[in-house]
Amino acid sequence: MIKDNSEGYLVLGFGKKYILECERLIETIKIYDKQRPFCLLTSLKDKKTLRKNQIFDYVITVDEIDLRDDNSHNAFCVKPRVNVIKYTPFSKTLVLDSDMVCVGDTNFIWNYLSNNDSPFICWGDDKEKNWHWGHIKNIEKKLKLKIPVLHGGILFFNLKSKSIHKFYSDCKYALNKYDQLGFLRNFRNGMTDEVIFAWAMAKNNLKPINYLDCPIISFNINSNIVLPYLAHCRDGTYFNKLHKTRISCCFIHYFLHERSHSFFYRFKINSWYKKIHNEITRKKNAILITSIFTKNISFSSDLKKIKLLLKLPITLVIFCSRDVYDKLNALKIRRNKKVYFIFVENLNLEYILNNIDNLDENISFLKNSFNYKENEVSSSIFNLSREKSLRLVSKLFESNNYLWIDVDQINLKSLLNLFALFVKKTFKFYLTENKNKKNKTFNIIKTSLRFQEFKIKC
C-alpha cells in the first residue's frame, strides 16, 4: 500500500447501479495496481446499504448541503465532482468515471504525473467541434476567454500544488454562476462538470493533455481487442478514427449512460463493456489447474475430456509429461489463448515435497531450465497432493485464485458449473471431489484453502 495516502483512486457512486460499476472498475484496476488505495464518494443513505467486505479502502459521505439540487444529475454527479478537493483523503487523486474498464498498467499514469506541480490535469482535444454542443465558441466570445476542450472521465487533483485553493475557488465560482457564464444545461436538463473545470483551467492558464500525447484512454472500443491495446480512438464504433500509439491504453471508457444514442447502439456498447470486463477479471483473477499422463488407465478418455476443458475462457495450467504434450499438440486442438504446460520432468519433486511451504523465490525447485509453454494444454497428479500442486502453481503464476479439477471429473455439468463460477464477480478457491449416490457420480464443488497472492519472476 502507498504510505501516507499520497496517491489514490477516487470514484463517485450514488445508487446501487453506479456503486456496482465502481466496484467493477476497481476490480480491473487492482489487477494492474495492487499498491494504491481506493475511495468511494457517496451519500449517507448509500453508505448504509454497502455490503460487508467491499473493496473500497475509504468510503466518504458527501454533506447533504453539497448534494442539494432539484436536478439529480447536478446533485449526484456535477456537484460532488467539483467538490472532490474538499473530500478526497489523498494528496494526489485520480478521479475516474464509473463506466470504465482498466486494461493496462496504471503505474505509467502516476509516473507521468508525479513531477507535475499543476493543481489539476485532464485529457482532451481542442479539435473537437461539437464540444459543449458546439456552443463553446459563442461562450468564448462572450467571456473573452479561450476555454480548453476536455474530457471528464479521468481527472487528476494535486492537493500539494500551491495553486490548488485558487483552482478550487474558481471551480465553485463557475458552479454557482453557471447560467450567468452562458453554459448550457443540455445533459439530462442539468449542468456538466467538464465546462466548469474547463473555465477554471482557463482562469489558471492550464491546458489539458492531448489524447495522442499521452494516450491512456480510449472510448467505446470493441471487446475483441488484443492487449496491450496500442491505439487511441475517440469512438470505437468508427474504425477511421483509430490512431496507433507506442503507449498502451490504460482505460476504456464506455458511454453506458448516454441516452441520446439509439437502443441498438447502447446495447452494443454495453455488451462490449461486459465482455471485456469479464475477460480481464476472469483471466487475470483465476487459474484452473489439472494434470494428465500417459500412465493413466483412462488416458484416451482423458484426452477427449481435455478438449472440453479447453473451451473455457479462463487461464489453464496443465501438469504433464513431454509425451503427453506431443500427443495433445498433434491433435491441433483449437484452444484458449492462456493455456500453459508444465513438464513434470523439469520439476525437482523431492525438493518440492520437503519444502512446499517455503519455496524460495529463486525457484530452486526447478531442474535446470524451467519449461512452461503458453498456448497449450494438459494435467494429472504426480505424487503431489492437490493442495501442494495449487501452492506450486501459486509460486509460478501470480493470481488471486487457484482451482484444481481432476480430468476424470470433467463433463458437461462440471464445465457449466465452472463457467458459472468464473464469470461471478467474486472468486473463491475450490476443489472438486466425487460423491457416489445410487450408482451415479455427482460432481460436487467445495470451498478449499484460500491461498494468498505470490509474486515471483520466472
Q: What's the pLDDT score for residue 438?
A: 36
Q: End of a domain among 278, 304, 322?
A: 278
Over the stretch 96-136, which tens digit does the pLDDT of each residue have? 999 999 999 999 899 999 888 999 999 999 988 899 999 99
271 shares its domain with 306: no
CATH number, residue 92: 3.90.550.10
Q: What is the mean pLDDT of the chain?
A: 79
Residue 454 belongs to a domain = no
Residues 224, 319 within the same domain: no
Q: For residues 199 and 432, which has the higher predicted lDDT (pLDDT)?
A: 199
Length of the chain: 458
Do 268 and 309 have their domain in common? no
Same domain, 266 and 309: no
The C-alpha angle with vertex 50 and arms to 273 and 10, in degrees rounded to 5, equals 60
Is pLDDT of 229 > 60?
yes
- pLDDT single digits (tens) 151-165: 999 999 999 999 999
293-308 mean pLDDT: 75
According to the model, what pLDDT value does residue 429 have?
34
* Residue at 176 is within a domain: yes
Per-residue pLDDT tens digits for 243-260? 889 888 999 999 998 888
**Which residue is listed with cell 467445495?**
446
C-alpha triplet 448, 453, 458: angle, nearest 5°: 120
- One domain for residues 253 and 383: no
Q: What is the pLDDT of residue 337?
A: 54
Q: Are residues 232 and 298 in the same domain?
A: no
In a domain, 62, yes or no: yes
Domain count across the chain: 2
Do residue 273 and residue 295 come from a single domain? no
Q: Judge if 229 and 317 occupy the same domain.
A: no
Q: Are 150 and 122 in contact (CB under 8 A)?
A: yes
Choose among 156, 28, 212: nearest CA to 104: 28
User: What range does the domain containing 303 cover?
Assistant: 286-447
pTM above 0.85, yes or no: no
Residue 453 in any domain: the answer is no
Spell out where 234-338 has E strands.
242-244, 251-253, 287-292, 315-320
Structural domain ending residue among the three candidates 278, 302, 336: 278
Question: Mean pLDDT across the stretch 296-322?
Answer: 76
